[in-house]
Amino acid sequence: QVQLVESGGGLVKPGGSLRLSCAASGFTFNDYSMNWIRQAPGKGLEWISYISSAGWTIYYADSVKGRFTISRDNAQNSLFLQMNDLRVDDTAVYYCAKESPRVGDDFEYWGQGTLVTVSS
Amino acid sequence: DVVMTQSPLSLPVTPGEPASISCRSSQSVLHENGYNYLHWYLQKPGQSPQLLIYLASHRASGVPDRFSGSGSGTDFTLKISRVEAEDVGVFYCMQTLQTPPITFGQGTRLEIK
C-alpha cells in the first residue's frame, strides 16, 4: 500500500536551515507529482510547494519563495524540502502528499507529517 | 489567489442528525473539461488529512456513502446524511484549478453535541 514517511523535522533557531525528506513506497514514484503542505499549530492547511513527476516543473507559495527548495530523487523514491533562512512563523507540521492519477490533481495520500519548530 | 471561504467554522451536531458545510471560491474552479477542481478533506484529531470527496462530488475509495458533495463553479456543499461520532474533526475544501497557489478553506470543526 502507499506509504509516505516524512523525516528531518526538529528544533532550529531563526535564520537556520533544515532539510526535510519524504520516503515514498507502494507506488511508482516517478509517475506522480508531489507536494508539500504545512500546518502551523492550531491553524489550517497551507500549500507550500509542488514538483512534477520528472522534476521539471516547480511552484512555491509566496511565503516560502526564495527560501525553500523542493527536489526529488526518483531513483531513491524520495522527495525533499530544503528550508533556509527559517523564521518563527515557519513553525508547523510539514506534510508531503501524492497527487492522484486522475484529473483534478487532488492529494490522494498524505504522510503523517514532521514537526519543524523555529525558536531561539 | 483564489480565496476559499467555508461556513460555518464550527458545527455542533447530534449523532444521527445531518450536517452540511458550505465552501465558496472567489473564482470559478470549473475546468473546461466539465469537472470542478474542488476537493474535500477530513482531518481527524491527531491525524493527517484524508481525502473524502474529489472533483466536487466523487467519493474517495473507502469513504462511507453518508458523505456527499455537490456544487459547481464557485459554490459547493459537503453533506453528511447522519453524523457519527467518528466524523469528529476539521473539514477542509481545497481548489486545484487556479494554481499556483493551491488554496484551502479555513476549515470547519465538527463536534458532537
B35 lies within 8 A of chain A by CB: yes
- Cβ proximity of B6 and B103 under 8 Å: no
Decide the pairing of beta strands A114-118 and A10-12.
Answer: parallel
Q: Which residue is associated with the grid cell 511552484?
A: A59
Taking the CA of residue A97 and the nearest CA in chain B, the distance in Å comes to 10
DSSP, collapsed to helix, strand or coil, labels residue A31 as helix
Decide the pairing of beta strands B19-25 and A18-25.
Answer: unpaired
pLDDT category of residue B36 using cuts at 50, 70 and 90: very high
pLDDT category of residue B27 using cuts at 50, 70 and 90: very high
Whether A110 and B50 lie within 8 Å, measured CB to CB: yes
**Average pLDDT, rounded, for chain A:** 97
B5 lies within 8 A of chain A by CB: no
Please report, for residues A85, B71, B97, the alpha-carbon distance to residue B9 in angstroms, rounded to integers and kept in the order given: 34, 19, 24
Q: Say which range, A94-98, A103-107, B5-9, B43-47, has the weakest mean pLDDT.
A: A103-107
The pLDDT assigned to A21 comes to: 98
Contacts of B109 in chain A (CB under 8 A): none
Task: Return averaged pLDDT per consecutive 10 residues of chain A, 120 residues in all.
Answer: 98 98 97 98 98 97 98 98 98 97 94 98
B96 lies within 8 A of chain A by CB: yes
Q: Side by side, which strands form the sheet with A78-83? A: A3-7, A18-25, A78-83, A68-73
Q: Side by side, which strands form the sheet with B4-7? A: B4-7, B19-25, B75-80, B67-72
pLDDT, tens digit, for every residue of B93-111? Answer: 999 999 999 999 999 999 9
Contacts of A95 in chain B (CB under 8 A): 48-49
Other residues' Cβ atoms within 10 Å of the Cβ of residue A89: 10
The percentage of residues in chain B with a pLDDT greater than 90, rounded to a whole number, is: 100
Contacts of A111 in chain B (CB under 8 A): 48
Rounded CA-CA distance B107/B11 in Å is 11
- Cβ proximity of A79 and A50 under 8 Å: no
pLDDT category of residue B42 using cuts at 50, 70 and 90: very high
Q: Which three cell numbers stand for residue A25?
A: 513506497
Closest partner residue to B51 (CB to CB) among A46, A62, A106 is A106
Closest partner residue to B104 (CB to CB) among A45, A100, A103 is A45
B63 lies within 8 A of chain A by CB: no
